[in-house]
Each structure stands twice: as structure tokens, then as C-alpha cells.
Structure 1
């Protein structure tokens, strides 16, 4: 990167962190530290909620997801507005009435201490691991692209977040997230405009190319439980994930508990429900435009250039060059086919369009085979090498093709996103550890100042833990799917506990506690035997359905256990 790129990158990050520290210095009591003094207006809450969810993984993985599979991933968010309305009507009023610091305080009021502790521990395990992935995901890609040490990249992201989160608490997280969202969306929209301007064809022709290659298929009405993303999973299974994430996950609950009033918190949630789908649409569409760009400008055979650079210096260099030449020939043929496709579209020659589409699919299949052969060489050269490169697509494009200054801004987008999500996670882990475990079960009587310090300690502790986990993590098939999977393993059980509390007043603590443990064990069994089965049974279930299964299992088992106890 150029000097101006480095200046924009570090200047943006330093100014955001410094602003958060400056605006929130002197947080003296627990109320101001954990709930921001209930001073946040609705649009600050809305942006904070969106920034918490829009991690660096969103901006790294989502364009690559669209590049590979089109825009169908957007169906995952179709249930979000439904969930926001349900939470606004049923969840938030209860939290405000009880004046809780964390969502899990409600569970002791409704059930008992062990149920509260169980839910808090499930959250801490899930969110503690998630915080590590949130830091690791951008670090491994940014370190590769920038040639930095992975260790120091992880430490840099984690340390900056820890400093301003520990210093300012919830208010610092919410205030900085406004600036981070401005940087993130401003940078992405600017990148999208530049991509379209760089295309050698018109915007309308680009849409034709994307459409004919099935990259613009937004909805899939085919019901398939093993399919992660279709309309049915989006408006059913994903609703349970969103209900649990936004309604019971302290990293989100803490965002709207800082609102000036119940109305302000509700409006912030509804804002998130209305704007999240358009935001994801924009990011996915940018990925599709990058796909179109690479149909006319040759893409790398593997987007992780570090691995291909190693191949060029290895004993496999000659084999790699042969595959590279083959890949180039494939690209040139494909490029000519796309020009013929556009001509056929202009002439409205449907038979010719169908024929060219068939030929292009064959060329794409050949291209995929070449890529797999190159990846095989990479593994032969380095058995520990990472060959999954979907998450490198967008930032590789940025570094190779965007002008100076914009490159630094886009890297600032990724770092800002990593900081915003990590800050919310560490803030919520610190508050849950303090309020639900330390203050409730370990040191019940202490000064307000003591609990502020303990919250700061736990925030720093979990920040250090996230950094350590990130240093020993390994790259998943796709980072955004990894985060959704991790949440789905635990969210269903947690949501089930809350829904029993809200809707099934006759069920007591012992029944829901046992049901929650059994439900969590069932979900883990389903996941680790998914695609294989057990005891003669076979199942292949998309992980979004874990949320619904876990939730309903808790509710059903709790009912049965309570009936037996009677």
C-alpha cells in the first residue's frame, strides 16, 4: 500500500478510538458504565446494533459468498424484521420493567439462580469463542494481504478494542460504533461505485451477465432442510436465531438497554430490522459486480496470492505455470463467450442465449477443476497451507485494482468492523461475568466502584482470552457461516429458556433447567453426527434449523418434566 493508504488506515482507527475514550472518560458508577446512563437515542442504538452484527466477517466473507454463489444468502435475513417486531413487543418491555443490567437477570426473577447461571454460562461460552473468531477472521486475511505477522495483527486489533472498551464501557462502544458504521458503509458504497465504473461494459449489460450466470437469484422457494439459505429457512429457522441473538444475547441486549426510554429502544431495533436487508443487499451486490469484473479482467487462479507466490518459488513451479497457462486460455475463451452472450441478449435470441449459457457453465466447471489442481499443488508444497480463498476475493480485488487512498479506506472498513463487533462482545462478556456470576454468586456485597472495576477486569480478561483463542484458531470454510454456526449451536437452547419464561407461566425452574441441559446435548449430538446419523437413523440438517430444534425441545421437554413432577 502507498503512504496515503497507511495514513488513512491508521488515522481512521486512531481517531475513532481516541474519540470514544474522550467522550466517555470518567465513567464512575455501574449504571453509566454498563448502561451508558440510559442516554442513547434511537438512531445511536440502531447504528450500534447494526455495527455489532456487521463484523469484519460481513465485509470480508459476504462479497466472496456472492462471488461464488450469488445473492441467495440475503434470504437468511428475511426473518429479521419479524424478529425485531416480536422483540419490541414482548422482550424489551420486560427488561425495562425489571430495570436489568443483563438479560439473564430476568431468568432468576422468573425461575431460579441455577437457570440464570446456566443461560449466562451458555452465553459466555458461545460469545467468548465468537469474540475470538471475530478478531481472528479479519486478522488472518489482513495479515496475509499486508504481509504482516498474524500474531501482531491479532494483538493490534484486540489491544485497541480492549483499551477503549475497558475505558469507556457501554457508552464508548455505542458512540464509536456510529463513526465505525459511517466508515464501513461509506467505504463499501464508494467501492461499489468504483467497481461499476471500472467495468468494460455498461451497467445494464453487467446485470445481464450476472443474471444469466444465476448470480442475481435472490429467492429459492424449494423446501430443503439441508439447504442453509432459502426462503423457508429465512422466514422460519432464521427467525429463531434472530430472536435469540437480538433478544437474549447480551452483546445486543446491552445496546438497547442503554436507550433513553422504551420507545427509543424499540425504534432502534426497528431501524435495524428495516435497514439490515438493504445493507446486506448492497454488500452482496458489490460481490456480484466483482464477479462480473473478473469475467472481463483475468482473476487470480487462487485469490490468496501468498500461496501462489510460494508455488512459483517451489519445485512445483513448472506444473503451476502449465496450469496457469491453461487457466488463462480458459479465461480468454470465456471472455469471448460473454461478448457473444451480450450480443445474443441484445438480439433477443433465446436459443443462442441458452447455448452460450451451457458453454459458459462448461468453461466454469473446467476453471474450477484447474483451481482445484492448483490447490492440490499448494498442499503438496505445504501440507499446512490454507487453500480456501473465498474470503480473500474482495480484498484481493481492492489491492489489485482500486486507486490509492481507497485501498486504505477499505482496509479501515475491515478493521473498523472488527473493532465494532469485538467491542460489543467484550463489553457484554464483562457485564455478564460481573452481574450474573461475580456480583450474584461470588461477592454479593461491595461498592458500586468495586463492580465497575471488576467489570473492567472481566472485559480485559475476555479480551485477552479472545486474542489467545484467535492465535490458535483455524480458518473455516467460510467465516460468515462459521459465526452463524457457532451461534446456532447455543442460541436455540437460550431462546427456549426465555420463551418458557415469557409464555409458559406454569413451568418452574427445575423443569426448564433440566430441559435446557438435555436440549443442548441434543443439539451438539445432531451437529456432530450431522450427515451421518446414529442408531440406524440418518439426518442432514442445515445449521439454521438448530435454533428452532433447540428452542422447541426446551419448551416441549420442560412441559413434560413439569407434568411428571406434578
Structure 2
């Protein structure tokens, strides 16, 4: 695709986002920015969350990974469904009962101010790193597709990219995100549908032939019952459950959208319907993966060494202009749908959890705007640091380490919900810091210390368990409430 065409597609896409922002941010205030005035239609939130959940990595990786692990990824998604049920039945009622803006306010009510700051801080750190990493990947795509052709340096690409996100989120906040997510989900799913249509048209397959091709393919194998395999059912299924609870149910970025619904019932309905649409959307991506490999084999196209490159290779070079344009829109939507909501969630959490903005009588809107600008600059600087490292393994390691911060959050909420004992609040931050540190040490040394054993998703559970054990150790008799804490 020519750089001019790429520019036209990206420019048109962001003009649509800015138009949506204009109409959704009229008469917007802090309540609109943080909660969308709790007036979001549940079906709109449910549909939009599909695009936010299917990140740019998923958009490219899931179809390509079919060549390595068949449809075993669906085992993980089955676990996701159980995790979302737990979120809908346990966390949503709790958060609506307490009328929370930031979900970490629960920790203040349950444990105390120090625990509250600890939980919010871990979210701020992990989300800043995670969102910056995802945006870093998106900026790389734009750099290769357009900016390199004009000799524009990468830091300018990053500045333009993040400035565009700031422009369409700084007024309407989460209300704008709820609506832009619907557009992004549409582009994501449209990219997959058009790609499948292009393949069937090139190979002259009827719809019945498509189902038969997918059904007969060895690449459509779902279940792996070998307990030693990395894709073993039990491991993947449990991973799907707990990763969903930790990285969706206990993540302000995700839950802020759910808390914009009008009531607890509508929020629960949103979660259930979203999980169903998400499941079948994943099936669509997996079906595309089978067809991509079938098409490449029939056309004599060499499979790239990196399976992540298969979908971009075929979409941009073999399926025609329409498929290339829609693919570009899809990957852009996937990348930015998570970055824009992260910027809003970071601003919300810092304003509510750290600055306690609701108690300020003056300049609330100005404070929120300054925080929003501050996190925009911070994400820009983190991305530049990622780029300066110039080592994908180092960047991936930094991103992985950031993932360990969800362990303390899972441990805090699990202990708070399952155990009624009070704790010595002032020592909770120490436990929350030590838990991921110990987990990282275990993860890096497990092969040497545990006879060759390598941790997978279960390191999250180990991290959470260490946090819970630490909280048990901090048990505070009720008579010590005043004298100790």
C-alpha cells in the first residue's frame, strides 16, 4: 500500500473519532469524564468492549498461532467465560453497592488508607507500562507504514499518535470511549469478515465448503489433554478464569466502562452478553487462521518464520486494496481501543484515588485536565524509553514484569472478599511490594530450584497467594484498632 493511501485511511479514521468526541463531550464535566453520568446503554458497552478486549497483539497473533497450537486458544477463552461470570455475579454487585468511581476505593473501606494507595499505585504503574507498550507497537506500525517514507523520526510519530488520543478523550473521557469503542469493534470484526470473504472468493468456496474445510482441518483441534503440554486444557482453562478476574475485574481500565451502565442489572447484562459476543468473535479469528493457512498452501505462498506475520502479509499483499485498507483500520482500531481507555482510566484513578478530587470544591475540572496532560506526557516518555532500549527481549521483559503487579491486586481483593479479619493497614504496602518481588525471583529461578519446572500463568496465583499469606500475617485483633493502626 502506498504511504498516501495509508495516510488517507488513518486520517479518515481519526476524523471519525474526533467527530464522535465532539458529539459525546457536549456539556461534559468531571462526572461525565469519570462515569459517563452512569447513562451508557448496556448493549453499547458490551459491543464496544469486544474491540477493547481484542488487542492489536490478539488481532494479529490469534490467526497466526493456529499454525502452532491449532484451536487450543479456545480453551483459554472458555476459562474467560467463567471469569466473566465471576465478575458479573461477585464484583459488579459489590462495586455498584458501594457506588464506586474507582474500584480501588473498596480497599480503603475494607483495609484502610495505606492499602487503598497501594492498590491504586500498582494499577497506575502496571497500566502506564502496559498501555505505553501497546501504543509503542501501534506507533511502530504507523512508522513503517507511513512516516518512514517521509523521513519523519519515531519520536515525532509517537508525539502525533498520543496527541491524537488526547484530543478525542480530554473532554468526554469515558463517555467518548464507550462510543468510540463501538466504531473500533466494528472495524475489527469487519476486517476479519472481509478477509474470510476474500479467501473464499479467491478459492471459489461456498459457505458449506468453508465449514467443511474448517471442520476437517487438523488445525481446528480444540482440546489438548496432555498434562505436560503448555496448552493442556486444565492449565489453559484455569488461566482463562484467573487472568480474566485479575486483569479485567480488578482493572480500572476495564471496569470503568462497566460502571457507566445505569444499574447493577444492566452492568451484569452487559458482561454476560459481551462474553458471548467475545467468544464467537474469537471463533471467527480462529476460523480465519485455518483459512489463511489453507490459502497460503494452495497458492504456494511461503509461511513466514514468525506466524504473527502471516495475516499482515496476506491482507496487505494478496487480498486486494479493500482487504488491505480494512486490515489497516482493524489493526489501528485494535491498538488504539486499549490505549485511549487506559489514558482515561489512569486519569480517573489518579484524580479519585491519589488526589481525592471529589472533596475539592474548586478547580476540579482544571485539576483533571492537568492530570490528563501529565499522563499523556508520561506515556510519551515511557514509549521513547522503550524505543531507546532497542531490544525487543528487554521491552517484553519490562512488560512481563509489569504484569506481576496484578498479583497483589488479586490477593487484596480475594482476601477482602473471602476473609473478614482486619489487618494492620500500615504494613500492607510492604506485603504488596514483596509479593511481586518474590514472584519474579521464583519465576526466573524456577528451573534451577524446582527441577526444571517453568511457571506459566500460575505465577499470578502464586503472587496472589503470597499477598494473602502476608495479609494473614498482618492480622490485627479488633482491640488493636486504635493502638496499632
Where in structure 2 are the equivalents of 1:493-504 lying within 5 Å?
Answer: 493-504=408-419
- Flag structure 2 segments of 5+ consecutive residues without an equivalent: 481-485
- Give yes or no for contact 1:76–1:238 (8 Å, CA) kept in 2: yes
Aligned to 2:268: 266
Aligned to 1:111: 111
Q: CA deviation at 1:249?
A: 0.5
Match status 1:432 vs 2:349: yes
Aligned to 2:91: 91
Aligned to 1:518: 434
- Flag structure 1 segments of 5+ consecutive residues without an equivalent: 304-370, 372-388
Q: CA deviation at 1:436?
A: 1.3
Aligned to 1:349: none
Where in structure 2 are the equivalents of 1:19-418 lying within 5 Å?
Answer: 19-144=19-144, 148=149, 151=154, 152-199=156-203, 214-224=218-228, 227=230, 229-300=231-302, 303=304, 389-418=306-335
Counterparts of 1:406 and 1:212, CA distance in 2: 26
Q: Kindly tell me: are residues 207 and 94 of structure 1, through their superposed partners in 2, closer, same or farther at Cα, counting changes over 3 Å? A: closer
Counterparts of 2:340 and 2:261, CA distance in 1: 18
Out of 321, 333, 340, the residue aligned to residue 423 of structure 1 is 340
Question: Which protein shows a greater Rg?
Answer: 1
Corresponding residue pairs, total? 474
Match status 1:528 vs 2:444: yes
Q: CA deviation at 1:74?
A: 2.2
> If the length of structure 2 is used for normalisation, what is the TM-score?
0.87
Q: Kindly tell me: are residues 392 and 27 of structure 1, through their superposed partners in 2, closer, same or farther at Cα, counting changes over 3 Å? A: farther
Aligned to 1:354: none
Counterparts of 2:117 and 2:175, CA distance in 1: 26
> If the length of structure 1 is used for normalisation, what is the TM-score?
0.75
Aligned to 2:456: 543
Q: Kindly tell me: are residues 563 and 468 of structure 1, through their superposed partners in 2, closer, same or farther at Cα, counting changes over 3 Å? A: same
Aligned to 2:367: 451
What do residues 457-479 of structure 1 show as CA deviations (whole Å, max 9, x unaligned)? Answer: 344234424543453465757x9
Q: CA deviation at 1:131?
A: 0.9
Counterparts of 2:390 and 2:251, CA distance in 1: 25
What do residues 332-389 of structure 1 show as CA deviations (whole Å, max 9, x unaligned)? Answer: xxxxxxxxxxxxxxxxxxxxxxxxxxxxxxxxxxxxxxx6xxxxxxxxxxxxxxxxx3
Aligned to 1:556: 469
In structure 2, the residue corresponding to 1:168 is in which secondary structure?
coil
Q: Kindly tell me: are residues 210 and 86 of structure 1, through their superposed partners in 2, closer, same or farther at Cα, counting changes over 3 Å? A: closer
- Give yes or no for contact 2:48–2:183 (8 Å, CA) kept in 1: no
Q: Kindly tell me: are residues 133 and 430 of structure 1, through their superposed partners in 2, closer, same or farther at Cα, counting changes over 3 Å? A: same
Note the aligned Cα RMSD (angstroms): 3.2
Q: CA deviation at 1:557?
A: 3.1
Q: CA deviation at 1:213?
A: 7.0
Q: Kindly tell me: are residues 560 and 6 of structure 1, through their superposed partners in 2, closer, same or farther at Cα, counting changes over 3 Å? A: closer
